[in-house]
Structures are given as structure tokens and as C-alpha cells.
Amino acid sequence: MTDENLALVEPRALRTALGRFATGVTIITCVDAGGQAVGLTANSFNALSLEPPLVLWSLRRSSPSVPAFEQAAHFAVNVLAETQVELSRRFASQVPDKFSAGVWSPGLGGVPVLGGCAAVFECQTAQRQEAGDHVLFIGRVLRVTDAGIAPLAFQGGHYRMLGEVL
């Protein structure tokens, strides 16, 4: 394949095709250099390694939250439950006090951890890597909580409930 062929992928077509892949929905949190809680909705979360326990997620470089996550020694990945759609929307918006909704408690490194989640991964930042128009954040999982409840899913631009287990 030549470089000319690589340029044929239109961003909108790529976004639509990527939307066919169902993902979980997370709120990723940290504490900035001034001690303020920072959080955002992300579906770019993935497992990376079991030994050592590593996860990764990505954030658009133009996001105003990039500096906070780049300096953070810890972050938490709060995997939302099906009942937490409104929190997902809140943390995807520009609402000034996002943390005034939900039940929050301090996790490792003081990072906000959300109650009622399907799972929570409390991580120490292990590595950052620029990739295209995003920054990849790799975290070493230090503590995990699994509530055993159905997670919220996102596919085709819509929230989805997982439904029946086969």
C-alpha cells in the first residue's frame, strides 16, 4: 500500500466505521497540580497487560484536561453502570462543577472514585505517549473494584444496555 492510498480514508467515514465497535463508558479522574478534581467521559479505555497489570486510555491533545492528566501521578478509571447515563453526559459536557453529582470518595493519590460503578481501576501513571491527535495514558493498576453489575455501553453514537447474556 502506498502513502497515497493511506490518504483516502475520510475522517467522517472512519468515525462512522469506528462507531460500529461497541465500547464501555468510563469517567476518568485525576487531581491537578492545584489539588482540584478533574474528570471526563471517555470510551477509549482498554486492557493492556495482566502481568504487570496495565490499562490504557487516550485523550485528544486539544482537550483542556490534558495538562492535568499529564502531571498526575495517579488516575482512576470509573467504568459506568447502566444506571449512570446522566453522569456520563455530565462529564462529557462543560458543566463547571461536574463532581457535584454522584457519590465520590478519595482513592489512591486522592483521586476521585465514583460509587455505584460496574468497576473501578485505580492506577499509577506508568507512561504517556503522543499518538496522532491523542495522548495515550498507560496506568499500572494498583487497586480494582468489581461490583458485578452491568456496565453502560456506547455504540453508533448511542448509549446501549447490554441486555441478555448468551
Are 91 and 42 within 8 A, CB to CB? Answer: no
Q: List strand residue ranges (DSSP E) for 14-132, in order.
A: 23-24, 26-31, 37-42, 46-49, 54-60, 74-79, 104-106, 112-114, 119-131
* Cβ 80 vs Cβ 74: under 8 Å: no
- Work out the number of other CB atoms within 10 angstroms of the CB of residue 73: 13
What is the mean pLDDT for each group of 10 consecutive residues in the chain (166 residues)? Answer: 66 87 95 97 96 98 97 98 97 95 98 98 97 97 96 93 70
Would you state the pLDDT for residue 164?
Answer: 64
Domain ranges of the chain: 24-154
**pLDDT computed for residue 3 by the predictor:** 60
Torsions phi, psi of 162, nearest 5?
Answer: -70, -30
Domain covering 24-154 in this structure, CATH number: 2.30.110.10
